[in-house]
């Protein structure tokens, strides 16, 4: 049985504070949340090691399917930790990008992250044909993959055909690039019909483990990602993981917000092609100018280029694009200039902020990097 998961466990997270999920703001999720776009009406199939119930999912975790034939087990619950973490990043109420999207768990990997391509293919087919009333799967998120030595030519053809059938049915398929730190073909990442996601660190530099190549479409944060985790002996917790497995669900969540926004605006589902193009259009270029094999089209984010900021002197509330934010300190009016914490601005623009003090005779200077 192939091991189709490759990720790094950084740490269990025992306590959450106000800054725990700040890295998610680089997705621009709040720009959509402030307009009432939370992913409602969108179903994301997580094809992985299963998903365990967690308070993060509220009542939005649908009855799933176990597609592993070998053991005859029908439970779709997560006995690894990977699938629950992925699903939390997509749709967790606190740790997720689209906190009102629904998750359809499709279990194709066992407790050790092992799996057969026939089971993965069966899981993809299940997601494609799944219906519940008027609901259907809009997006498939698949943080798994294998190299050329882990898949036969027949399995490769069948996997590609199954994914193409999803795309033809209007389902966006988002997959991880891999964690081999080299330019190589991995599957399903190298197929034309998927959105392949690479990983960057919190400084938007390529993550040292991220597989690269001309098949990389976009990138997102893949280091130190905190999300939901369930351990039967410990209960509901959070865990910090790293890998392109972690950057992929952030992009899947962004896709869910884009799909929700389109549906709210036009009263109909967005096509797979339009959603794919929207993801690539909502990027900030990184690395060399234009598309490259490390970052693809760039850092995927919904952060608007223009921001409307409303506040008043002495208030501890600033409104960013209609979203009220409580500041650590009140706004101050000094020499006819409005001052408020730079950290708040940085979080909502995706800017990297650094301070430099060349010498004691010069004041500290702030620099922005977009």
- Residue among 275, 342, 301, 96 nearest 204 (CA): 301
Give the residue range(s) of CATH 3.40.50.200 domains in the chain.
2-300
- Cite the active site residues: 48, 82, 245
pLDDT band at 231 (very low <50, low <70, confident <90, very high): confident
Q: Tally helices (H) and strands (E) across the chain.
A: 7, 25
pLDDT at position 91: 98
Q: For 234-272, what is each residue's pLDDT tens digit?
A: 888 999 999 999 999 999 999 999 999 999 999 999 999
Superfamily (CATH) of domain 2-300: Peptidase S8/S53 domain (3.40.50.200)
Supply φ then ψ for residue 218, to 5 degrees. Answer: -145, 175
Continuous segment of H or E residues that includes residue 197? strand 195-200
pLDDT at position 313: 77
């Amino acid at each position: 049985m192939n091991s189709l998961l490759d990720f790094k466990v950084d740490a269990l997270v025992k306590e959450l504070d106000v800054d725990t999920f700040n890295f998610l703001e680089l997705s621009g999720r709040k720009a959509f949340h402030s307009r009432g776009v939370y992913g409602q009406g969108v179903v994301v199939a997580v094809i992985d090691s299963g998903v365990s119930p967690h308070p993060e999912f509220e009542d939005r975790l649908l009855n799933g399917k176990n597609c592993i034939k070998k053991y005859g087990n029908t439970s779709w619950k997560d006995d690894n930790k990977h699938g629950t973490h992925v699903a939390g990043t997509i749709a967790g109420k606190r740790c997720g990008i689209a906190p009102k999207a629904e998750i359809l768990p499709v279990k194709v990997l066992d407790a050790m992250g092992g799996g057969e391509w026939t089971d993965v293919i069966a899981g993809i087919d299940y997601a494609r044909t799944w219906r519940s009333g008027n609901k259907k799967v809009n997006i498939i998120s698949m943080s798994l993959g294998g190299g050329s030595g882990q898949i036969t030519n027949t399995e490769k053809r069948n996997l590609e055909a199954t994914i193409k059938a999803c795309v033809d049915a209007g389902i966006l398929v988002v997959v991880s690039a891999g964690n081999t730190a080299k330019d190589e073909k991995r599957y399903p990442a190298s197929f034309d019909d998927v959105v392949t996601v690479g990983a960057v660190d919190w400084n938007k530099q390529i993550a040292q483990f991220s597989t690269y190549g001309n098949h990389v479409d976009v990138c997102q944060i893949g280091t130190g990602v905190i999300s939901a985790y369930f351990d039967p002996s410990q209960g509901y917790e959070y865990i910090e993981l790293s890998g392109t497995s972690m950057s992929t669900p952030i992009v899947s969540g962004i896709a869910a917000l884009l799909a929700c926004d389109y549906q709210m605006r036009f009263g109909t589902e967005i096509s797979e092609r339009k959603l794919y193009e929207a993801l690539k259009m909502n990027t900030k270029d990184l690395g060399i100018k234009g598309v490259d094999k490390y970052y693809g089209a760039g850092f995927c984010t919904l952060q608007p280029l223009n921001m409307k900021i409303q506040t008043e002197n002495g208030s501890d509330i600033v409104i960013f694009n209609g979203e009220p934010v409580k500041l650590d300190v009140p706004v101050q009016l000094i020499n006819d200039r409005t001052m408020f914490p730079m950290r708040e601005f940085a979080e909502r623009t995706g800017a990297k902020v650094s301070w430099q003090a060349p010498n004691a005779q010069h004041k500290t200077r702030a620099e922005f990097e977009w």
